[in-house]
Structure 1
Amino acid sequence: MEIDGGVPLKGEIAVAGAKNAALPLMVCAALTDERLTLRNLPRILDVAILAGILAELGCEVSWDESGPALSGTMGGAGFGTGRVDSALVARMRASFLIAGAALARLGRIALPLPGGDAIGLRPVDFHLAGFRQMGATAEIEGGEVVLSAPGGLRGAAIVLPFPSVGATQNLMLAATLAKGETSITNAAREPEVTDLARCLAAMGARIDGIGTDTLHITGVDRLHGASYDVLPDRIELGTLICAAAATGGELRLAGASAELLSAALPVFEGAGIEIVAADGAITAQRGAGGLVGVDIMTQPYPGFATDLQPQAMALLSCAEGAAMITETLFENRFRHVPELQRMGANIRVVRNHAVIRGVPALHGAEVTATDIRAGAALLIAALGAEGTSTLHGVEHVDRGYDSLVDRLRRCGARIRRADAAG
């Protein structure tokens, strides 16, 4: 993909449904014989991959593309009649959420160890420890996780060592059909976790403490179908705010609210971005004083999201003064740094800290994305840079963002794709 930099982005973009909410919501279909309809699904590769996995396992999946956003209906009556395609599972980490649903519904599942972005180890130990507390056996054999609970799952008091989003979601899915009450202490509080809990409640699950760090789930005999709207993508929202500021443009981001980015917005404003929330949208532009360096530390929600760290780094690369980003969640989430350095960024990494000294401008270069958010960061950098950049690894951006290139083009971005996606 070739990007001509230096063109201010101007216009309106509707924020798509959240990738990190859509995937666990799709897994809910495996918990019921009835149909689950999800509206506002993002049109991204990860949604298609997970739909393929669910179909391989016997779920019926159909799409409605007649509206402005994608809707999907999934029927779980046949769930468990097929076998997992290990190649599909290996492509996406969120596929491991099927484990909790399968244990609850079938009492057994064998899954390949999950894949996804190469940003750190992200082990599934917390998931497996929780399943064992609920009465399941969990073994890793030849690259597969073999889970079994022939007598069904039972409620347990689970204390997570760390507020893991994936573990919280997986254990919540499992607990909905378990016998008795399950408590999850030190649960993740991300909006996507809350969205999953609300969808499960709409299907008949009994969940208390939604939005807090302690969840109480009382198992029920069965869940029913439902229709549910996927919440807007806060990471896409933050990405687009960074893109507007990096290019010196102005974007109106429809369907977004300030609550989605409660931790990041003050940081962005401190960096010199003017942000106005009104009438169901957020308008973002670089302030008259220009961009200035700010320090950022990634933390579990409600702290600054690690999924916005690379994009913020791209933005701060051209800010006045120095900034330091501290990454506390993933040990390998600075893989975009050498690529930004190719474009002229002055960044020094010491362990989990990145010290950024702003330069007047980045310049076009040939760079490669290694994961979804690194791809977004490099795209932002290229849009704001002088000259033309070539971005490889565009498939990562496609995995995480719904038609992002097309939507940016409509706001003035000069982007040419040489791959099959055009």
Structure 2
Amino acid sequence: MSGLLTVEGGTPLTGEITVRGAKNFVSKAMVASLLGEGPSELANVPVIRDVDVVADLLRLHGVTVDHDRDGGVLHLDPTDVESAHVADIDAYAGSSRIPILFCGPLLHRLGEAFIPDLGGCRIGDRPIDYHLDILRSFGAVVDKRAQGIHISAPRGLVGTKIELPYPSVGATEQTLLTAVRSRGLTELRNAAIEPEIEDLIAVLQKMGAIISVDTDRTIRIEGVERLGGYRHTALADRIEAGSWASAALATHGDVFVRGATQPEMMTFLNTFRKVGGAFDVRDDGIRFWHPGGDLHSIVLETDVHPGFMTDWQQPLVVALTQAKGLSIVHETVYENRFGFTDALRGMGATIQIYRECLGGLPCRFGQRNFYHSAVVSGPTPLRAADIEVPDLRGGFSHLIAALAAQGTSRVRGISIINRGYENFMGKLEALDAKVTMVDSAVAPAV
């Protein structure tokens, strides 16, 4: 999947695909298994690169991992957890940001943890300072070394009070995974409350944790001495479902996303309808289609849950290039998420980006010189182009643009998309997309 993808655009996507468990939850539930003193079973697991990375990291620490890839079931047995060699862990430096979440569980199980240099999509300043400060507040000792970060807990971990400056998903996950076996009570204020966080809390509760969530974004965790395993079915990936919905809209298509669920997507569905898209919620999934006629321009702000998810923004912007009038998009979650629009402008889209907050309220990026607002003027015909995938969500958005454009586009770097979209080539073929993979050894440079 490291070669060149040729995309003959201009054909509506039609047909049915299936989405399985959310990437942003499954990997965290896998890490949570480290906390248990018995085996765990996680169902509805997608076959994606991020799952493979976490599985390999767990194996390095002595966890037995058995992945039924066809059935989508993971069996995880942490009975023989042990310290991994630094060189082995370092081999995963740059491939994922998940290793930072191993800290709390490993401190409880082994008394120490090592974290290599962290990777992930380059979409903004996603520092690990939140994580390290959280671990220190529980009593951990953080030692920054040339190879990475060594963390120890010579006196064990003790519950604490934390107030996040921003409801960060990663910082909330770190707190949960550390607090459940720390001595005493932990209180986390201004916590993230995304559906993936709620599902992680459900997993931890099944393991024996005591966690309550208040309506003011306060989470309280009463530490327990030991936890068991869990059996759980992952919630559906609302990001992937929204991506295929936007693809259907941008290409004038009709796509049934089996496995998609309404509760986690209500905010997206409202926006999809305002733009002019149509959908039908069924027991086994959601059908998305372009009903004909003009799409409508909108004013949109991304936000933490229950707001409009930042990961839905990029694919929807592609559809907004085909909407009549001026659409305004204010990105308040990641400061550098409009870099993907450069390629769209090269394909004929009319998009201008601004430093100013163009939404209803100023945000934390408004005075920091970041281009975090966009004005999209449409409809503009898109034309084929040569594209280099920049990151996971931006890359899928570029693919949507190529599918909507007239002519044949060449897309390089699509292996990045494997991090979060299961069997996306097979799904494209199932939707009658005209795509062809060219081997990297014979593919000309873009």
How far residue 258 of structure 1 moved from its aligned partner, in angstroms, is 1.8
- 1:342/1:367 contact within 8 Å kept: no
Give the equivalent residue in structure 2 for 1:74. 76
SS state at 2:335 partner:
coil
Paired letter, 2:37: D
Task: Answer yes or no: is the 8 Å Cα contact 1:297–1:327 preserved in 2.
Answer: yes
Corresponding letter in the other structure for 1:376: F
Asked if 1:390 is matched to 2:421, the reply is: no
Per-residue Cα deviation, 1:192-211 (whole angstroms, up to 9, x for no partner): 11111101111111111188
Deviating 4+ runs (over 3 angstroms): none
1:333-348 to structure 2, matched below 5 A, reads: 333-348=337-352
2:103 corresponding residue in structure 1: 99
For structure 2, the residue ranges without an aligned partner over 5 or more in a row are 356-371, 441-446
Cα deviation, residue 415, structure 1: 1.1
Question: Residue 221 of structure 2: SS of its match in structure 1?
Answer: strand
Q: Does 1:174 align with 2:178?
A: yes
Change (3 A) 1:382 1:210: farther
Superposition deviation, residue 78 in structure 1 = 2.2
Q: In 2, distance between residues paired with 1:40 and 1:279?
A: 17
Cross-structure match for 1:359 = 379
The letter of the residue matching 2:136 is R
Is the 8 Å Cα contact of residues 197 and 210 (structure 1) preserved in structure 2? no
Q: Which amino acid aligns with 2:424?
A: L
Preserved CA contact (<8 Å) 1:189 1:211: no
Amino acid at match of 1:365: A
CA-to-partner distance for each residue in 1:211-234, whole Å, 9 max, x for gaps? 862111111111111211111000
One of 31, 35, 42 as aligned partner of 2:35: 31
CA distance in structure 1 between the aligned counterparts of 2:201 and 2:46, rounded to whole angstroms? 19
For residues 315 and 131 of structure 1, do their structure 2 counterparts lie closer, same or farther at Cα, with a shift above 3 Å needed?
A: same
How many residues are matched? 418
1:304 to 301, 304, 308: 308
- Whether the 8 Å CA contact 2:252–2:292 is kept in 1: the answer is no
User: Structure 2: how far apart are the matches of 1:419 and 1:313?
Assistant: 30
Q: Is the 8 A contact 2:100 2:131 kept in 1?
A: no
Return the offset for 1:66. 4.2
Q: How does 1:133-212 map to 2 (within 5 A)?
A: 133-142=137-146, 144-209=148-213
Contact 1:321-1:357 at 8 Å conserved across structures: yes
Is contact 2:243–2:315 with CA below 8 Å preserved after alignment? yes
What TM-score, normalized to structure 1?
0.95
1:89 Cα deviation from its structure 2 partner: 3.6
Distance (Å, rounded) in 2 between the aligned partners of 1:411 and 1:297: 30
In structure 2, what is the Cα distance between the partners aligned to 1:104 and 1:272?
51
Q: Which residue of 1 aligns with 2:250?
A: 246
Query: Alignment RMSD, CA only?
Result: 1.6
Deviations 1:370-407 (A, max 9, x none): 11000110111111111111111101111110011211
Which among 111, 114, 117 is matched to residue 110 of structure 1?
A: 114
Deviations 1:294-349 (A, max 9, x none): 12111111111111111111111121111111111112211211111121111111
Deviation at residue 104 of structure 1 after TM alignment? 2.5
Q: Identity percentage over the alignment? A: 37
- Structure 2 distance, partners of 1:315, 1:103, is 46
Give, in whole Å, the separation in 1 of the partners of 2:303 and 2:145.
Answer: 33
Secondary structure, in 3 states, of the residue corresponding to 1:262? helix
Deviations 1:113-170 (A, max 9, x none): 3111011111111112221111112233325222221111001111111111001001
Q: What is the Cα deviation at residue 87 of structure 1?
A: 2.7
User: Does the residue aligned with 1:41 lie in a helix, a strand or coil?
Assistant: coil
What is residue 400 of structure 1 aligned with on the other side? 420
